[in-house]
Structures are given as structure tokens and as C-alpha cells.
Chain A
């Protein structure tokens, strides 16, 4: 990598996570079984925590220990974890479960009193979508994400709210996916090829065209992001590198190529059934009398020449 490319990569390194967190509002992280998205979610949570934001985690799918694993202690101290993994449906009836369930916790975040910037990570939005009616969830997400659009009366600035939602693509039909998509300011679809992960980032900035770019990346064990160039050009799927291109006309016993003269002769040839003006003239012009054609017949030695006319008995 040249010096300029390295500098550009260095600035790009900050850009991807920054661009995802720049807009505020809902950021959808769409992952699949093959390309999981929790590590990107944790990378964004780490970035928000390092920026000094307050971070709330609604943990429904993995245990708190598993989510906090990999973060060092100063980041862990900034994370407020709402545990809905142990007993989300209140089956144990011990009274330890948080009242109102995940929806109650999400609604409580709408009524927060301190107005600094805050990041809410939903792990996962798929869990919420499977257990709550889609309309209720969308209304609550809208209320949480757009808090900063209604500032309080005293004119103090309201900090940005980032809602990061991890969504498992295969679990939901096009209706709910479309509804969440329309709510989201930024949509990241995870994919990849040849062992390298990629993120397709769709940003909807207000009063601007939506931007669509694909970024190749990998996530390091400490959940920092490392941008990559993408798989090298040789491995593009257009041409299969394992099958070398062979000229099929190389080892023939006959000649398929035409020389220049032969090509010219071929191009100037008139096809027999092509009705050109010359042909029309030739047919219309009366032919000069030619000698009548002769038929030369040599009877074979064993030929049986019958002088009798076989048509004699016909009465013509």
C-alpha cells in the first residue's frame, strides 16, 4: 500500500463507524446465519461509549456476561445492561423480572430526564419483533429515535439518540422488514465473500439523496473495526480462475481461418436466391438464340433396347 493509500485508509477507518453514528435515529444492522452482526453491534457500542455517550443495552438474546465479553472495564462501566435474557416472559414468577418487559423498558427510555447523547442497543430487534406486534414496536421505536426533534421548552439542546437494532433477516417477512426499513435512517446489510465480511450501508440523510456504499471490514478481538480493500480482483466471480481460457481453433486438422483475399471474395459473393437488380434484368432480357442443348446418350452394351413404343396402346 502506498503512503497516500495508507493515509486514505486511515481516515476511512474512522469514517465507517462515524458515518453510522453520525445521523442519529434508528440504525438497522441486518445479519444472516452465515454473516453474524453482533460483533459489529458491539463495535458500535464500544465507539459510542468511547465518545462519552450513555449506552443502554436491551439484552434479550445472549447473557450479560457474553455481551460484556471482550470489552475492557472502562467501557463496561459505561454500559447500562437491561437483562431480558434470563426470564423475559416472567415464567419463573420470582418477581425479579423487570416490570413491563422489554417494551416497558423501551418506553421508559422515551421519558428520560437527562438530555445528553444516548445510544440504545437492541439485541435483538428480531426478538422484539417476534414477541411484540409490529405496529406497537414501530411506534415505540419512532418515539425513542426522534426525541431530539421535539426539544423541551427551555431551549436547551437535546442530545442525539442512536438506536442500534440487530435484525436477523431470515426471520421476518417483507412487511415488517419494510416497515422497519422505512423507519431507519441508516441500514447496514452484512454479507461477504471468500471469508471476508462486507457491509452495504444505505444512508438516508434529510433533504439529500440516499447514499449506498459497500465497505469491506473485519472486527478485531477488542471490537475495533479494521477496514479492508476487499477481495483482490483476481477472485472476482466473473471469470473462474481455475479454468484457463483455451482457443478452440488452435489444434484443428483443417483450416478455419480466412485469408484477406478469401474474405473479400466471400463478401462480394452474391447469394443464389438473392433477388438483385442484375438478376431481374437477366431474366427479363430475352435470351439470344443459343444452340439448342444436346443430349448425348451412349447406350450400355447390355442395355435392352426395345424398339416397340410402350405407349402404343394408348389412344392419344
Chain B
């Protein structure tokens, strides 16, 4: 996790808010550093994490996780981390006979499917075990990323329904958190992606949006991060807050600074 980002979000692993949906989106840049941040953040907060990783392999997240101070292999072995490696298990849909539907069963269906098997996988992974020996704090679902599900043939409404059920079960019933990444297509007109992004934005409590700089690529400033807090739970008189920072990604950390205040130009 990146301590500077924790400061900006005013949170630490010990006192993070529960029952929240966090939306990560990126436009014209790569926002995966946010996924690595939240993965290591929640593992350090002693949460039970279900990571639906559709983009990269387990070893990729493990290598980056080690730079951030978490060991994914050990977390998986002791049962803290349930890892669905999309790239590997997608093949299992076709070549392995399963008794119950595979989480990625929609890949086999010719017509528009739904994500009920995936939701059941997540629910079974995160529901509290009756023995209660492990003692994890609260469950967290992390998805990287949802836009690829649209590319694999699902409709935006099917993905929204999946997140709806995850919110109902994880955020409301189990008081856990959900963090998802969606790419913003930006100039390219992608109606389904826009419906997904806007629909999730309306449901989210916190939106982190990583954008490339409008002027193009820069060596010292990799992009801009917009933080939008929505739906404050305490009082509605407090308007939604929005902050913007620029950032630079280094080997083991990300440094944030106010717009125009990069150390390189001061």
C-alpha cells in the first residue's frame, strides 16, 4: 500500500470504513497501481480478501505485492486470500468437467449470460466460516477488471447486476468492502462501458480516477488522480468532496503532490 495515498484518503488499515463500494477508473493511463494498493492495504488490515483477477497472472500480483510488503503466496496458503486467476481457470471451463457451474461459466454460453456462478463463487469464498478460528476482520472483494467482462460478451446490465448482488451480500449483509476497476474508454464511444461506469459511479461511495495528463506523456508526472467522495453516511448537508492530485510512480511507492508542484519543476 502507498502511505501517501492513505494520507490523501484519510484512512489506515486499522480504521478503514466498512460497507463501502470503491470504484477505480482510469482514462488514458494505467490505473493498476490502485489495484495493487488496495490489495496490499486490505491484506495488511487482516481482512479476508477474494481477488477476481482477470487481467494478470498470480505471479505478477505476487511480485508487485512483495515490493509493497505483502506475500500473496503465504496469504493464499493460510486462507486469507482466495484468488481466482481468470487467465488460467478460463481454460478449465472447457477442459474440466465440473459438478457445479464454473465461476466463468458465461464463456461457454452463446447467448448473453449472467454472472450468477461468479457471484456464488465470491459469496462462498467470503461467507464467514462457522468455526470462526481464523478471525479475519471483514470480507473484501477486489475485481481487476470489469471492463474485460464486457469484452468477453456480457452486457453492462449483467455486470451491474453482479456488482449489485456483491454489494447486497458483502457491503450490506457482511459489512465488508468491494473495490472494482473499470476502464474509461474516453474518446472511443463505447456505450456499454459508459453505462457500466456511470451506473457504478452512482452506487459508489468513493471514486478514484487516474487520468493521463491532458498535455501528454511526461517523465516526472505520470498522471493525475481525482478523488471523489460520494454519499457521506452521516449528514447530507455535507456536499460531495472532490480533490485532485498529480502523481509519479516509482519502484516501490507512488508520490503525490498538488497540481504543478512536482519536485521536478520546483
Contact = CB atoms under 8 A, between A and B. Distances in A.
Contacts of A22: none
A130 B157 contact: yes
Interface in B149-192: 157, 160-161, 164-165, 168, 172, 191
A91 interface: yes
B213 to A, nearest CB: 22
Interface string A26-52: 000000011010010000000000000
A67 B140 CA distance: 24
Interface string B181-208: 0000000000100110011011100000
Q: In terms of DSSP, what is the predominant structure of the interface of chain B?
A: helix
Nearest to B194: A170
Nearest to A131: B157
Interface string A190-231: 000001010000000000000000000011110100000000
A91 B194 contact: no
Q: Chain B contact residues (Cβ within 8 angstroms of A): what range?
A: 20 to 34
Contact of B203 (A34, A61, A70, A173): A61
Nearest to A42: B236
Contacts of B157: 130-131
B61 interface: no
Given A39-B236, A91-B165, 17 more contacts: A61-B203, A63-B168, A65-B172, A69-B233, A85-B172, A87-B165, A88-B161, A89-B161, A130-B199, A170-B194, A171-B198, A218-B237, A219-B236, A219-B237, A220-B236, A220-B237, A223-B236
Interface of B: 114, 116, 119, 157, 160-161, 164-165, 168, 172, 191, 194-195, 198-199, 201-203, 230-231, 233, 235-237, 239-240
Interface of A: 33-34, 36, 39, 61, 63, 65, 69-70, 85-89, 91, 126, 130-131, 168, 170-171, 173, 195, 197, 218-221, 223
Closest 5 A/B residue pairs (Cβ): A170-B198, A221-B235, A33-B201, A39-B236, A63-B172
